[in-house]
Structure 1
């Protein structure tokens, strides 16, 4: 009975929406001889110059723009180097406007983009950072994320709202890659193709509850027919040089929209570390181990992205997407020198280590989307199928030599390691979108995901009988996971109120098998994940509320139960018993005049997964292991400003002050330890558009964070200052960019772990100060640019 009522309701809504009234605009584009102009670009623009939608003319020079609401508009038509614009007209019903005549005397330059979008748009569930016409649009996407308001990058890890659980999407599609490979992909992808960065701070129920917040990278699409492309080159000099070269291609026809970009990166990365550890014996300080380490990575990476949209008819669109990366024969040389001193500061031993790691990594994520429009009012059914294949093969040789003195906890060894991890991910999702009225929309959907990970390891050559150190000789660990999910979501847009509320349910079934000990670990659980975002706007005042609950399941590399050496006294160990982590977040915002924002927030986490360094005083080793924290919560306030101070100067400033408390279990004593602190985070970005022809762009970014905590570690404060310039020429078809990152080289991190019998510190000094030089040249149909705006529009309204 319930099922029949539901189906009847869906049928009634679908029938009602199918017969709903909509408006269309029809017209012709002809030349001076009254001949039809085929495949002319036709753009519908609002009264203030805002782009609404676009199409192309048919074989008779006709065009039709559907689903247009009542209001005042203009039509701009262009072909090759000519353009024509209609007078302003008002639509209250389906209308046919007078033919537009293209003449050779008109220049296409009249529809070149000149609008200054707000660099930052504040919405209830997200904020949107528009990067077009800025100095950073010639850099790579990873560099753009470093400058995106609301995003923080520390030690090559993204943070949003204090959470490191951040997922990357491209055009709404999740990038299924480990963190390190995501960096490689984004570092090799030009930001010139990026229209905006959407930081989704309250993910709707439509998205998977997995992970934390979302960063959606919106790529540009050709709004008009034709072909254009670009070549780009980026050179970066730190301690070692890095180089990226690539090409982009865009094609739009009557039914097909195709984009592809390829890049090749040859990078050499350099990082220095210093680990200082005071080991204890019988509760007293015994030895001081100081390890000076250097890591040099040389890699060649290929990145290929493909996006294809096929308009089968007015009701059906098929999209194919593929994101692939291949890094063959990446080599990391990890050298270390460890000095061991007694309590009298006398050197008793010195160790030297050389760790050479070779790895090949291949990843390919492929998507198939089908969207069927039920009517012209927005009702549609969409289906997405996704498959990712990931393969990482490692070969490692570690040599440990005692060059001076002797210590009972070390010996001279040569360790050989081979490991391989293959991951297959498949998912399918179907969504139904039903507009209930002009203001309200209902969404529902189902999703299934299957994940299989197979990790194998083979280690030989290490002859050490020290207790509690047991590097895995060989083993195979299989991990399978199935997720069944469904959601409902409702949104409403009144005159002053906006609301989005949803509920998602996910059932998860996992099983892990380790062949060495014939161990099997299974787990099944069901969880609900509500979300809510709402806003109220009156005059220049806006009030916003957001709430969500999310889950973070264990990363596949972190659950592999293998133990292996990184250096003479440093061990990595996975944890197959990691539990899923949960996070609940609440934020209340007040925004004045769209530019000034004050926010109060709180976040409560349970079983957060972190990698902690723990010293073993029996074996004089440092162990890096993933654990679940007992609790982790924070609360605080943000104050931010984002506005044009002048017509050429856009300014963004954020000051955040929050309290963060972590509690964890000491593995030796089982005592619960609390680690907490008040932290201040400051971010200031300045974007300048200079020269009369607006061909010079500059940006200056400053970041500061006071001391903060993470798990069992406490970190010192650090800051960064960077500046970039971009100059366009050749009618803006070419551009050169130059910049310096971390000018004063103050972006290094220093952490300590000092409690009970733990007393160690780590200083990390990567290549922060970088000189960057880039070049980009566009060709093809570049005269009409994405999101074109008419020059005559009042610039004061384009904010």
Structure 2
């Protein structure tokens, strides 16, 4: 049978099968004088106290919970400082409960409703890490990601399952920022507003096939009626100080839920690099570089939900980052020695880079409920604008000796890149049976990147120096996508399957070139997540196929210089990469897990450092690897050892094999290694009133590879504390990162005619102090989840 026939049959079944029957719970909240209580907070809990959903009473004091499955529940109602809880109720049909009476004499200092669930929750296609009640709550979100199970941070890059192709979302919305600006955004955002971190290891078909795996940062949503807010302050001392100051605000009315947070960060970062390159017959070049980066960033996030009526909900999300007047100074001293070790020349360089960056991402979501059984239509429109300006002045002086490989000059470089992203997506959710739900949708995205550069002051007589005097590179991309998925949930089995189709059309035009770089391609991206649970045993099988399109700044064909003989440039011929991933998990008693995984990639994009022995230059450029294989085994435990000690520990052992074409000799080179990664996170809740929290993290990485580079092993130990006081309205925190200062990295490239190494010494040992104070109507802690699904494109 044809593929079209199967697709037609699937949609026919969608509309002919009957919808399932869930139940509705209704009730009334009164005070002790029999008056209805307006805007009382009402929470539905499972029989074992787990939070299910929440709402508020209307102007007649009535509340209603829809789509409730059969089971045993409790209901908690509260208003100001008064609370009442129902007796246990069994739901097997639509129910109207007797009124809940709030007694005015019942005064409580604080009512805290929390979810009783494990810190780490394993699902078929993802795992969820709750950060509440840990020492991480007073840190920033970037620190939380460093400690999230399944996530690794190396050299300020996120990795999941060994892959750096990771997209970050906030409340289901993709953060459309370059990697460096994502760090600025997350370091300036308080973790106190985070409900949980979702690590999506098998992305459903409704998400874009772009990139690798997904990290969804689920922010809290205000449940208590009225207004509350917070202020926070965070100071970090490394070699240089860093400071973040911010405020959060939440408001909830009958039909409006609004929150905003703003933070200002003043970061000063210090980094040292040592590059040692043996240019065969041209001597040994040793470059000592010190980089001081100073940047002030303003981050603001806005979240607005408006319930227009019982069927229509409108949501607006906006994330913006402004980093004006950034300044980075590169100080370098390069010694040029002969092969015998004699000093032939010494170069002194100063590279001053000033940059201004502005980024804003805006989303509008409209949800229309087709019926009370879960059928709905969701439409999302998204727009991102990114503007990055750079001005660079590079001075190079020969302070001793003489060399024909470089000259004294002053280089002036001005560049600007403006990126506009627009996308629109419509999704249809249809329950087919009580156990099955189908989702289908269509998406269109258009992207335009316009990069310009003006360069002067270069000595064209030096081999290897051939910059573009001025140029304009215009890149356009259109993506059309459609998908269908089926989510099945039986008593012991769960099966999520989906298929996504994407057509991509790209066009790159360099004004100095007569040729036009245009490509078009169509791909299918299947995914599957299967789980089976019986008693204490759980089995998971997942598969997905993904694409990684080139980042826009990686395809710009311009050269940017770090020193007179070290530069990086874009690659307009960079191809999209594809990844096929399979993983099998066995989990015992929810605490012990063993996972087998294999990942095959084609055209994987890797940033390579390549030396040119003839011109004595180092070029950094993204290239496509020929193949990449990644397979291994994980063993982990996530367990509450005592009433005050929770442990997450992981041992990962895997084989990583990269093959790539050396651009100097056109020879295929293989780089392979077995790597072991060990990690232990310890979370402690201390004191009788449970007001002191501690977090101890240990990490070890054996030697590993990335493209043509091999990295030596490193380890880190971190410690942090958080203490609450003033009835938990205030808290202070203290932390030390990389206590023993062992987190530096050394990479080498020794193959064919390549003989170079890089030693990176970042500010990894940090002292962190934090303070947070909550105010307003904070008597009920929010546990409501905001579930949005959308994604944008990459920068």
Settle same-fold status: TM greater than 0.5. Answer: yes
Distance 1:342 1:259, change over 3 A: same
Deviations 1:598-624 (A, max 9, x none): 111111011111110000111111011
Match of 2:288 among 292, 300, 306: 292
C-alpha contact 1:728 1:735 (8 A) present in aligned 2:
yes
The answer to whether 1:362 aligns with 2:358 is yes
Structure 2, unpaired ranges of 5+: 786-795
How far apart are the structure 2 equivalents of 1:428 and 1:435? 24
- Tell me the equivalent position of 1:224: 224
Out of 101-110 and 570-579, give the one that drifted further: 101-110
- Tell me the equivalent position of 1:348: 344
How far apart are the structure 1 equivalents of 2:46 and 2:648? 28
How far apart are the structure 2 equivalents of 1:735 and 1:586? 43
Distance 1:355 1:788, change over 3 A: closer
- Tell me the equivalent position of 2:244: 244
C-alpha contact 1:54 1:224 (8 A) present in aligned 2:
no
C-alpha contact 2:407 2:462 (8 A) present in aligned 1:
no
C-alpha deviation, 1:479, in angstroms: 0.3
C-alpha deviation, 1:325, in angstroms: 0.1
- Tell me the equivalent position of 1:593: 589
C-alpha deviation, 1:106, in angstroms: 1.8
In the superposition, the TM-score normalised over structure 2's length comes to 0.96
Distance 1:114 1:220, change over 3 A: closer
How far apart are the structure 2 equivalents of 1:330 and 1:624? 23
Deviations 1:362-403 (A, max 9, x none): 000000101111112211110111000000000110000000
How far apart are the structure 2 equivalents of 1:414 and 1:4? 66
The answer to whether 1:584 aligns with 2:584 is no
Distance 1:5 1:721, change over 3 A: closer
The answer to whether 1:84 aligns with 2:87 is no
Structure 1, unpaired ranges of 5+: 790-799
- Tell me the equivalent position of 1:795: none
Deviations 1:752-791 (A, max 9, x none): 00011110000000100000000000011111001299xx
Secondary structure, aligned partner of 2:279 = strand
Match of 1:394 among 390, 393, 402: 390
Match of 1:459 among 455, 466, 479: 455
Match of 1:541 among 533, 537, 540: 537
The answer to whether 1:133 aligns with 2:133 is yes
C-alpha contact 1:472 1:564 (8 A) present in aligned 2:
no
How far apart are the structure 1 equivalents of 2:64 and 2:163? 47
How far apart are the structure 2 equivalents of 1:291 and 1:196? 44
The answer to whether 1:721 aligns with 2:717 is yes
- Tell me the equivalent position of 1:792: none
The answer to whether 1:403 aligns with 2:399 is yes
C-alpha deviation, 1:413, in angstroms: 0.4
Match of 2:476 among 475, 480, 494: 480
Structure 1 stretches of 4+ with a deviation exceeding 4 A read 1-13
- Tell me the equivalent position of 1:44: 44
The answer to whether 1:743 aligns with 2:739 is yes
How far apart are the structure 2 equivalents of 1:331 and 1:564? 16
How far apart are the structure 1 equivalents of 2:10 and 2:757? 61
The answer to whether 1:321 aligns with 2:317 is yes
C-alpha deviation, 1:114, in angstroms: 5.2
- Tell me the equivalent position of 1:23: 23
- Tell me the equivalent position of 1:377: 373
The aligned runs of 1:232-311 (5 Å cut-off) are 232-281=232-281, 286-311=282-307
Distance 1:211 1:21, change over 3 A: closer
- Tell me the equivalent position of 1:61: 61
C-alpha deviation, 1:4, in angstroms: 9.6
How far apart are the structure 2 equivalents of 1:609 and 1:198? 25
Secondary structure, aligned partner of 2:142 = helix
C-alpha contact 2:695 2:719 (8 A) present in aligned 1:
yes
Distance 1:513 1:608, change over 3 A: same
Distance 1:72 1:116, change over 3 A: closer
How far apart are the structure 2 equivalents of 1:337 and 1:280? 21
In the superposition, the TM-score normalised over structure 1's length comes to 0.96
How far apart are the structure 1 equivalents of 2:583 and 2:367? 34
- Tell me the equivalent position of 1:666: 662
The aligned runs of 1:585-624 (5 Å cut-off) are 585-624=581-620
Deviations 1:13-68 (A, max 9, x none): 5xx54xx6442222222222212211111112121111122211122222222222
Secondary structure, aligned partner of 1:186 = helix
Secondary structure, aligned partner of 1:231 = strand
C-alpha deviation, 1:507, in angstroms: 0.5
C-alpha contact 1:244 1:266 (8 A) present in aligned 2:
yes
The aligned runs of 1:682-701 (5 Å cut-off) are 682-701=678-697
C-alpha contact 2:114 2:783 (8 A) present in aligned 1:
no
Deviations 1:648-698 (A, max 9, x none): 100000000011111111111111111101000001000001111110000
C-alpha contact 2:67 2:374 (8 A) present in aligned 1:
no
C-alpha deviation, 1:517, in angstroms: 2.0
Out of 3-12 and 571-580, give the one that drifted further: 3-12
Deviations 1:305-345 (A, max 9, x none): 00000111111111000000000000000110000111221
- Tell me the equivalent position of 2:759: 763
How far apart are the structure 2 equivalents of 1:98 and 1:539? 36
The answer to whether 1:493 aligns with 2:478 is no
Out of 313-322 and 53-62, give the one that drifted further: 53-62
Distance 1:116 1:97, change over 3 A: closer
How far apart are the structure 2 equivalents of 1:63 and 1:628? 57
How far apart are the structure 1 equivalents of 2:708 and 2:28? 69
Distance 1:686 1:538, change over 3 A: same
Distance 1:224 1:720, change over 3 A: same
How far apart are the structure 1 equivalents of 2:109 and 2:67? 29
- Tell me the equivalent position of 1:794: none
Out of 450-459 and 55-64, give the one that drifted further: 55-64
C-alpha contact 1:389 1:425 (8 A) present in aligned 2:
yes
